Chain A
Amino acid sequence: MKKQYTIAALLLALLSVSSCVDEINLEIVESNQALVVDAWMGNVPEDTYVKIYRTVPYMSGILNPDYLSVPVTRVEIEEKDGQTIPFSQVEPTVFKQTWSFQPSPGKSYRLLVETAEGEVFESSWEVMPPLVEIEDIVAKAIEKEVMLTSGAEPFFQTQTFAEVRAKLTDPGLGEFGYLIRTSGITELYTSSSNDRCRCVCFEDDPDIFAGMNVVSNKNFQGVSFQATIGDVSLSYLGRYFVSTKVKTLNKSGLDYLNRVNDQQRNTGSIFDPAPSRVKGNIKKKGAENETVLGGFFLFQESQHEQMLYRSQIRSSAIGLNHRIEPLPVVVGSCTEYYFGATAIPPDPFLP
């Protein structure tokens, strides 16, 4: 009987694992070099900019950052009461606001761009969303299976992670979205017989959330809620510093980024929409059906930073199957093992 089960399992395993995804090498020669306007305006001047360029051809696995610039004579953001904020070119494709300006939540703005060829592009009127402060960052231990590789054979192991969440209170001012980006610095320990070893390293983690983290407030309007902002491995001993930025976006910005998010998570299955061009809120004046990519996004950003103590998180969930990575042995510095890390403690880790 056991043998029959084994055969049956083998048969179904063949079916189940046969649903396969392979990377393919596609040569796509066609490219329409469409105009892109990537415009952001909000309460953070460094993140307020207008980029104008043309798309580069799609090449699988290759990113060509040399976007072709577009000669532009005018870039400005217009407030509905008539005030205009001019932008000036700072790089071939980048324009920044000429003078300091703080947009106000609830007010309407639109983008105007005029090219050297006299073509005028304008966005729809967009309303500045409200600012929402991050109240706290909390973490809870969870178990997850991860794929590891030993030699040529991948295998799966249950490990524990801290699921990190940001506490927010939605102001209840209608539907809008949150674009959350979370980076971190992890503290990594090594061991050595050398008393002068710099055995503690710090490594940047540019994004602890897999993919784009965009959340609608549809289900949280006017209430406090916790948005997941990423996972931190609990298999290490050191602390973890979390830095989170939350941008509120109005409905059109949310819809646009949701479509980008869908595009990035598309797996080609029957549950995924067939891909199509993501259209934004900018149109060419007099030729509304002409392709203009990108959009004009209004945001209000808040930031929160917090140190997480892995040992505390583990001890709050001792029933889980915690595994601790053995400390790597080094001679004089942790960077011998963690190549991309630094032994100089960043500010949050200074006493």
Chain B
Amino acid sequence: MKAIFTFLGLVLVFFAVSAQQKTDPNALPGLLERYYELSGKRLLILDKDVAALNAVTVGDLEILPEALTAGTPYSFFAFRESYVVIYPAYLRERYRQTTDGSVAADEKKIFTIKGKIRDNEMKTMLPGALFSIPQLELAAQADVRGEFTIDIPEGTYIGYFSSMGKQTEQRILKIYRDQDIDVTLFESVSELDLVTVTDRAIDANVMSTLPGATRLPMEELKLLPPLLGEVDVVKSMLLLPGVSTVGEGASGFNVRGGGVDQNLILMDGTPVFNPSHMFGFFSIFNQDAVNDATLYKGDIPAAYGGRLSSVLDIKTKAGDTERWSLNGGVGFLSSRLGFNGPLSEKTQVMATARAAYPTWVLQKIPNPSVNGSSTNFLDGNLRIDHTINERNSLVLSAYTSTDYFRFDSDTAYTWQTNLASLKWKAYWGENLGTEINLSYSGYRYSVLGERTPLDFELQSSIDYIGLQQQFEWSGEKLEGLQFGYQIGSYQMGMGDLKANSSESLVNPELIQDEQGLEGAMYFQMPWKINDRLEGQVGLRYSHFAAMGPKEVYLYQSGVPMEPETITDTVYYNSGEVIKSYGGFEPRLTLRYAFTEDFSLKASVNRSIQYLHLLTNNFASAPVDLWKLSDSYVQPQTSWQYALGLYKNLNQNKIETSLELYYKDMPSIVEYRDGAELFLNPNLETDLVMGSGYAYGSEFLVKKNGGKVNGWVSYTYSRTLRKVAPEFGEPINNGEYFPANWDQPHDVTVVATWQPVKRVSFNATFNYRTGRPITLPSGIYDIGGEIVIDYQERNQARIPDYHRLDLGLTYYFYQKKNSDFRSYITFSVYNAYARRNAFSWFFQPSPEVGIPKSYRLAVIGTMIPSVTYNFSIR
């Protein structure tokens, strides 16, 4: 039987045809591409059929299917003006013969076939994949979830399952009842198939109902220039409109005017508190372990919550169900190795490990401030998928990492991330599916003082345990309804100072821990008014309780909170609620499709955040303190309103969009000038609640497919804050001031050029306005020490930032059916070696003690890198 399901290369090709007498398989791709450009239809031809088709020329372009098949034993049919399938004519003829004189086709019973088309390599569904039955000249396209439904008269047929870049799967389908079909497509080895890979509906940006959502599969990420040899999910997200960073070396990213703590980053459903290794030069997401990344920056689905600005949902890869494979990469500064494959018919495993080891090179540099430094990180992923039976499956995912950074001999920084999740996926009855995810996220970070006799270790930590259960209804009524609940427990180590040796004179100090419980219930469902007007409506109710044990200080009313105004202390026992907050978080999106390639989307959503990252530094650092809401620090809240116009051109080859947003943040957490955030038992006295707003527009033009593809985006955005407490000093005299990450203009250009199959060039360019900074106003001296008086917060800007990165990927020759494939990447970060300012600072000069102005550029030169990547099956 299996022999029947011979894998055939489906050719989706694009190049110009030469004026040859015979149809040359090597030249045909160009001709088909020209046809696609002309007609907007993709022509699907099985690899083995090419030689039997007619020779065609450019002059045949307008009637290419007819020209290819006229007088040959092949026929064709069109599907939705998007695809033309060429197939052996006998299939259709035989079908007609068997139906003539027997039961008339219209008297046949009709059965519903529901199918799923999966990607073997990425372990994801394949949205946009095509299912076709040439005999019936019927076809259906998989939706955004990789699923399709089609009604078929009873009978036996050959079904084609096709997707770009994948080998077409053929199956004999005996349709005598309603059926569910689940097909996995394998990567094609056909040269031409590799030109373009798409895994979503080609008009998804127009027709999906979620504005501001971007999914980037790892295959697409790999086309971007790597930094230091690594394909980086977080760095790639920074190329999207509305996503920015305050500078090189800063942890995290900013989305639509939100702080870095306002992004919920999930790895297999487990929250990540620091996505960076080595201060953002690497992310914690190993390219060999990641399947895809989805960023929600506009409407955030109701299943997600707890952050104001965005959700970055990273899914790891599952192990291969058929074969073992080994993959990895070797670079000068880091290397990685991974394997995956089946442990049994029902169980697959995927494991990766990665290490960065730049210290040996640092030590060779003749600079005492550098060769005394050391830095490294290690991380590893493990994922085990187990199918219990047809209706139940388990996924265990785990991640661990450790970072160490010491600059010179004084101070070292370490941080560790440990993540684990266990997901149980089950189908209850015909129409109800459920996922239960139990997750743990641990983050520990330390500052190590290494100068005796004051050597110390200052530790902080976060331990989160969460449970989420989500149900999905797929019955006829209320199809697509999702609902569920979520509960999470936080244990926050707020600071534990210890002597690091027996000789140390440091007095131990412990800031009391914080505990909290966060729970939520939610539902979301698609809302279809008619074919043009669709949307989603959702509601989430979240509740948070700050819990004991804890001593809470009471402060004198009517005056600013200061240690001197403490009037009493209240002790809460373990399990006692200190303070609780809650609220509804409605989510609504609407999409109105004017045409198939033009739509208008709108969304509104409210978010509440109970966990806050406290930083008063130039940028967020891995050792910044996280804090829960409590009696004095209220939750952060926001309302986001977004409106977008989406227009595709040239048969969806070019996507354009214009998105506008306004974000109102009536409650945000800010720090007072001169705040002491570490080892402060009265932390609330240095924090202050404020408000803010952000607004902006994001314009994107993206070209899909072709030799040259990529996108250009322009973002205009502002984010302003206001802190005018009832008691105590306001910031900026109580007027609005720009947030640290307020960078109004942002232009990004991403381009990939693949002139031949084995070589691709890529380039990215980013320009953005310099970020705000506080400048000196005057100087004075106190007791002989020169002191700088600063202006109000963030009233000036450092120079604008711009950078060009270039990359080249060369795929080594690979024999058909070879189990070994490899490629090498050369990349250049900051190609024209611009010294982009990270900050300006003002310091007394060592010679005369008079303050001078300095610019710090974290990366002030061009950085080349080379990485050899391989996979063995």
Instruction: List the interface of chain A (C-beta within 8 A of B).
Output: 7-9, 11-26, 28, 30-34, 36, 38, 40, 53, 55-58, 60-63, 67, 145, 147, 155-156, 179, 210-212, 218-221, 223, 225-226, 256-257, 259-260, 263-279, 289, 293-295, 297
Contact = CB atoms under 8 A, between A and B. Distances in A.
Contact of B853 (A25, A63, A276, A293): A25
B841 A156 contact: no
B621 A270 contact: yes
Contact of A264 (B368, B843, B855): B843
A277 B842 CA distance: 13
B505 A219 contact: yes
5 contacts: A24-B840, A40-B783, A58-B842, A156-B367, A269-B618
In this complex, the member of A57, A274, A278, A295 whose beta carbon has the largest number of chain B beta carbons within 10 angstroms is A274
Interface stretch (B141-149, B577-585, B645-653, B784-792): B784-792
A279 to B, nearest CB: 7
Contacts of B841: 266-268, 272, 275
A12 B779 contact: no
A19 B855 contact: no
Given A18-B861, A257-B785, 13 more contacts: A11-B865, A14-B863, A15-B859, A17-B367, A18-B863, A20-B835, A30-B791, A57-B779, A58-B775, A145-B368, A265-B843, A270-B621, A294-B780
A324 B134 CA distance: 93
Contacts of A266: 841-843
Interface in B571-623: 616-621
Nearest to A211: B844
B175 interface: no
Contact of A63 (B361, B730, B779): B779
Contacts of A15: 859, 861, 863
B366 interface: yes
B857 A58 contact: no
Interface in B817-873: 835, 838-846, 850-865
- On chain B, which size bracket covers the interface? 35 or more
A16 B367 contact: yes
Nearest to B863: A15
B852 A13 contact: no
A277 B790 contact: yes
Nearest to B730: A289
Contacts of A265: 843
B476 interface: no
Nearest to B281: A15
B855 A21 contact: yes
Contact of A28 (B673, B776, B861): B776
In this complex, the member of A8, A16, A56, A275 whose beta carbon has the largest number of chain B beta carbons within 10 angstroms is A275
B835 A22 contact: yes
Contacts of A294: 780, 782
In this complex, the member of B365, B507, B674, B852 whose beta carbon has the largest number of chain A beta carbons within 10 angstroms is B674
B788 A24 contact: no
Nearest to B370: A16
A57 B358 CA distance: 44
Contacts of A28: 775-777
A16 B853 contact: no
A268 B786 CA distance: 18
B277 to A, nearest CB: 14
Nearest to A278: B787
Interface in B329-369: 332-333, 358, 361-362, 364-368
Contact of A274 (B358, B454, B616, B864): B616
A19 B838 CA distance: 10
Contacts of A8: 332-333, 361
B729 interface: yes
A33 B773 CA distance: 20
A278 B674 contact: yes
B83 interface: no
A274 B618 contact: yes
Given A13-B361, A270-B617, A276-B774, A61 B860 contact: no
A58 B788 contact: yes
A56 B781 contact: no
B183 interface: no
B759 to A, nearest CB: 23
Contacts of B194: none
A297 B782 CA distance: 10
A345 B484 CA distance: 86
Given A219-B506, A266-B842, A276-B673, A56 B857 contact: no
Interface string B537-562: 00000000000000000000000000
Contacts of B333: 8, 11-12
